[in-house]
Chains A and B, each alone.
Chain A
């Protein structure tokens, strides 16, 4: 089925939820309200002649620097593909800046678990009903969400965990091997540099 036809059927099914449709380079994207995202994706997955059973990718987008005024601050993008019918569609859920949260789709695709964790980690979007929403690529005590546009590319100082790590290393240094302090009778003869060793 043509992607635009799928978009039209989706609009007929959920007229309240669809904000707009757009086509670019032959690919169709549908912008939706986030409220019933699970219902919409389940309908796309389970309807017989659509069967969008492959969740190709799930990612977050920060629209802070885009010129289009109709865009909300955040978006969560789902790329769906039907392996049986070989058609694809993109669903973009628009999220506001003050409450970037959306329902989790782990109940539909278990593989979405890590993708949602990654989106939470790098973009700071909350997923309601996610079984295990933790940071995944960054350390758990990391501050901020790097893929947001206000996050600088560099120059934010050290990671807070780094100071802890350095003090730990310094403490461990007292157990380090020091040839001067070692008892030579136990370790055997050891030549220093002046005596021509090594």
Chain B
């Protein structure tokens, strides 16, 4: 038997003296910050006195890039915003451009876009729940959520061939029609999924540790949330009824019935309950869309150049009056690129994603501003986390549900 050796380590200990402060730089490589978010902290013991989030590590200049690309080309940039729910971003971009240029979308395409938008909401909420629970310490939920998320991603692959960056919704419609196999598989998933949500809830909903970490932590009142510009589940958790699917319905949301879950306490638990309930509502919306899915075209008549051509354009003979590609025909018939400005927002899983476009009559946006919910949510982190414990900061970041690709653009 050997005698146990004892090591003494000298480390700075805060506390005792009231004026003693401790600076800590959390991130950008910290796993609990969900990407490249850096938070500079001023601590007194474990209490946060000052919290300064720093973003910009993932800035790719999308707004500048979009000014130098046509409307159809700029679509792929939106995939890279919120890469967890790329489909929702695509839909948001297409809805905004359609409003700007006055392009009509056939009913079938609207329903398909509603379906994929809600599937994308499920994907995002599952990933949020998985990582949020992992941050707080409920490790089991992670793999449960990824099990169901995998089914959804397989369905997306069946639909358009991609698993992460889709570019499936196009301006004026969608890229391809849905197959019968896709609908069958999706219905099987919808049948199965509500029981899975209950499974997650049995794991954490009344778990004593979960409640201690979430109830009464990170409280934001309704007025405060509005002043901070919070949207999505973060605003609804504080009891403010604001959901763009109800307020300014786009696609097929005015054709389906669903409820907007509201919280009242404005703490992490209220936001968690809102998102869990939203998953139930998403299932309801998708089921109704499948039941009502009308037949018909999937691409609008007046937007042929903005989607991928399905057949090769006919050759244009010199001097003939026939026009080969849809683009030339369209410009002859009506002025497609109007001048003016619009702001159109859609409800993506993270909150309100808005596109402010200025068009000067050319085929490229003169100015595209992206109102990204994650950017504004991270901006509010300083107010929410001040005065709380450092461990609660992790829970708060998870609960705000931020994605840095969308924040930094």
Select the stretch in B73-81, B104-112, B335-343 that faces chain A: B335-343
Closest to B225 in A: A111
Q: Mark B176-199, 1 if CB is under 8 A from A, else 0.
A: 000000000000000000000000
Select the stretch in B273-281, B372-380, B391-399 that faces chain A: B372-380
Sorting the interface of chain A by its residue count into under 10, 10 to 19, 20 to 34 or 35 or more gives 35 or more
Once the chains are docked, how many angstroms separate the CA of A55 from the CA of B338?
26
Contacting residues, chain A, for B367 (C-beta < 8 A): 61-62
Interface contact tally, CB-CB below 8 A = 100
In the complex, the answer to whether B408 meets A137 with C-beta atoms within 8 Å is yes
Once the chains are docked, how many angstroms separate the CA of A74 from the CA of B174?
36
Q: Please judge, given known A-B contacts A27-B343, A90-B343, whether A110 and B383 are in contact too, CB under 8 Å.
A: yes
Q: Please judge, given known A-B contacts A67-B360, A110-B228, whether A146 and B61 are in contact too, CB under 8 Å.
A: yes
Partner of B358, one of A22, A54, A61: A61
Q: Does A41 belong to the interface (CB within 8 Å)?
A: no
Q: Which of A4-36 contact B (CB under 8 A)?
A: 22, 24-25, 27, 29
In the complex, the answer to whether A122 meets B63 with C-beta atoms within 8 Å is yes
Q: Does B99 belong to the interface (CB within 8 Å)?
A: yes
Contacting residues, chain A, for B376 (C-beta < 8 A): 111, 114-115
Contacting residues, chain B, for A57 (C-beta < 8 A): 343, 354, 356, 369, 371
Q: What is the interface size of chain B, counting residues whose CB is below 8 A from a CB of the partner?
A: 44
- Tell me how far the C-beta of B245 lies from the nearest C-beta in chain A, rounded to whole angstroms: 13
Q: Please judge, given known A-B contacts A114-B376, A147-B63, whether A79 and B356 are in contact too, CB under 8 Å.
A: yes
Once the chains are docked, how many angstroms separate the CA of A168 from the CA of B67?
36
Q: Does B304 belong to the interface (CB within 8 Å)?
A: no
Once the chains are docked, how many angstroms separate the CA of A151 from the CA of B345?
28
In the complex, the answer to whether B100 meets A25 with C-beta atoms within 8 Å is yes
Q: Mark A100-128, 1 if CB is under 8 A from B, else 0.
A: 00000000011111110010001000000
Q: Does B323 belong to the interface (CB within 8 Å)?
A: no
In the complex, the answer to whether B343 meets A79 with C-beta atoms within 8 Å is yes
Q: Does B366 belong to the interface (CB within 8 Å)?
A: yes
Of the listed residues B226, B227, B369, the one surrounded by the most CB atoms of chain A closer than 10 A to its CB is B369
Contacting residues, chain A, for B371 (C-beta < 8 A): 56-57, 59, 79
Q: Does B27 belong to the interface (CB within 8 Å)?
A: no
Show the binding face of B for A, using Cβ within 8 Å. 55-56, 59, 61, 63-65, 68, 99-100, 102, 226-230, 240-242, 247-248, 338, 340-343, 345, 352, 354, 356, 358, 360, 366-367, 369, 371, 375-376, 378-380, 383, 408-409
Q: A56-B371, A59-B369 are in contact. List 13 more A-B contacts (CB 8 A).
A: A25-B99, A25-B340, A25-B342, A56-B354, A57-B369, A66-B360, A79-B343, A109-B227, A111-B228, A111-B229, A136-B56, A138-B56, A147-B63
> Lowest 6 A-B CB distances belong to which pairs?
A111-B229, A24-B340, A114-B379, A57-B371, A59-B369, A137-B56
